[in-house]
């Protein structure tokens, strides 16, 4: 079996996780993962108030401290890396240098979850088709902005808000037929900048499918994209590595022969 990789998971350094660092690493190892990157949230604003989130300034330092405290108890064949999910820079682009520069970081996921106009994608009512279309337009506009800012190694979970719509029985239809030009532009920007995307497997857990969808992964491949990481986006040890094996199979079915890992921000390619 191929080596399992998980380059997107959270511990209690993230506000929305209670998982102890060592518990998460241990659960990932038990699930078969041998390349693991902890990617705690580094959000520049509080998702409820949209006010500046002071704690973002210390996430990288706390990540280093957690790693140092745990490293002697990690099995030797586990490649454990330090990362972060750096998000909501649209509110504070002036912080991009400071937040992404700590030299011990191995990997940065570039994320976007909160709109200026309506707040968090998690909080929206997708049942009004006109509003759903507006949200999709805002999403693609801001994702292009994130791609252009180019501060990350890999763009996180493209199209992830489809999950919240699906909980309300709505398919947002983030399809190439409808939005192909804009999605292609985002992917071309990522590729031209030498960066990559992830296949986020959290949607496979609840039946929505991977983020991005297979057709977007195939488009990325056809445009020359090679850098793809795989992530469970687990926030609890019970979800550690869930569906990353399926994610790796999806990549293989889409024509990718490698999954990417990063050490000190440099990509390395592991055969699937
Ligand atoms: Zn995210
Ligand atoms: Zn995440």
Q: Which domains does the chain have, with CATH numbers?
A: 4-271 (3.20.20.140)
Residues in the 5 Å CB sphere of ion ligand 1 = 111
Position 122 confidence tier, pLDDT thresholds 50, 70, 90:
very high
Mean pLDDT for 39-67 is 96
pLDDT at 1: 58
Residues measured by CB to lie within 5 Å of ligand 2, the ion: 85, 233
- 202 alpha carbon to ligand 1 midpoint, in Å? 10
Over 90: is that where the pLDDT of 65 sits? yes
Taking CA atoms, 169 is separated from 25, 125, 158, 178, 214, in Å, by 35, 11, 20, 19, 21
Going from the Cα of 203 to the center of ligand 2, the distance in angstroms, rounded, reads 12
- What is the arithmetic mean of pLDDT over 210-232? 98
Residue 37 banded pLDDT, cuts 50, 70, 90: very high
User: Residue range 156-178: average pLDDT?
Assistant: 95
**Average pLDDT value for residue range 104-121:** 97
Model confidence at 2: pLDDT above 80: no
For the chain, percent of residues with pLDDT exceeding 70? 100
- The alpha-carbon radius of gyration of the chain (Å, integer) is 17
* Ligand nearest to the CA of residue 84, numbered in listed order: 2
The confidence score (pLDDT) of residue 236 equals 98
Q: How far is the CA of 269 from the centre of ligand 2 (A)?
A: 22
* Angle, vertex CA 117, rays to CA 203 and CA 161, nearest 5: 5
Beta-carbon contacts of residue 167 (< 8 Å; ≥ 6 apart): none
Mean pLDDT of the chain: 96
At 179 the three-state DSSP class reads helix
Please tell me the number of the ligand nearest to residue 161's CA: 1
DSSP alpha helix (H) spans, 31-158: 59-70, 96-100, 129-149
Q: Which of the ligands is closest to the CA of residue 6?
A: 2
Q: Is the pLDDT of residue 159 over 90?
A: yes
Residue 206, pLDDT score = 86
- Highest mean pLDDT (candidates 171-175, 206-210, 256-260): 256-260
79 Cα: distance to centroid of ligand 2 (angstroms): 20
């Amino acid at each position: 079996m191929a080596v399992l990789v998980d380059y997107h998971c959270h511990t209690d350094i993230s506000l929305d996780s209670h998982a102890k660092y060592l518990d998460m690493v241990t659960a990932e190892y038990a699930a078969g993962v041998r390349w693991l990157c902890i990617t705690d949230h580094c959000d520049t604003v509080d998702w409820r108030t949209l006010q500046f989130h002071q704690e973002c300034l210390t996430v990288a330092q706390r990540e280093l401290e957690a790693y140092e405290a745990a490293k002697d108890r990690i099995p030797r064949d586990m490649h454990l890396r330090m990362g972060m999910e750096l998000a909501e820079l649209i509110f504070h682009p002036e912080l991009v240098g400071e937040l992404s520069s700590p030299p011990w970081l191995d990997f940065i996921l570039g994320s976007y979850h909160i709109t200026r106009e309506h707040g968090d994608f998690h909080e929206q009512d997708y049942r009004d088709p006109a509003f759903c279309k507006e949200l999709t337009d805002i999403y693609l506009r801001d994702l292009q902005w994130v791609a252009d800012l180019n501060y990350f190694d890999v763009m996180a979970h493209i199209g992830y808000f489809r999950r919240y719509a699906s909980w309300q029985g709505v398919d947002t239809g983030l399809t190439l037929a409808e939005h192909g030009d804009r999605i292609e532009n985002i992917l071309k920007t990522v590729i031209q900048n030498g960066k990559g995307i992830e296949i986020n497997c959290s949607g496979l857990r609840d039946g929505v499918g991977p983020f991005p969808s297979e057709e977007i992964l195939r488009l990325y491949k056809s445009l020359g994209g090679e850098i793809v990481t795989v992530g469970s986006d687990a926030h609890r040890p019970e979800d550690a590595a869930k569906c990353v094996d399926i994610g790796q199979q999806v990549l293989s079915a889409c024509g990718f022969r490698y999954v990417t890992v990063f050490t000190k921000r440099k990509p390395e390619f592991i055969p699937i």
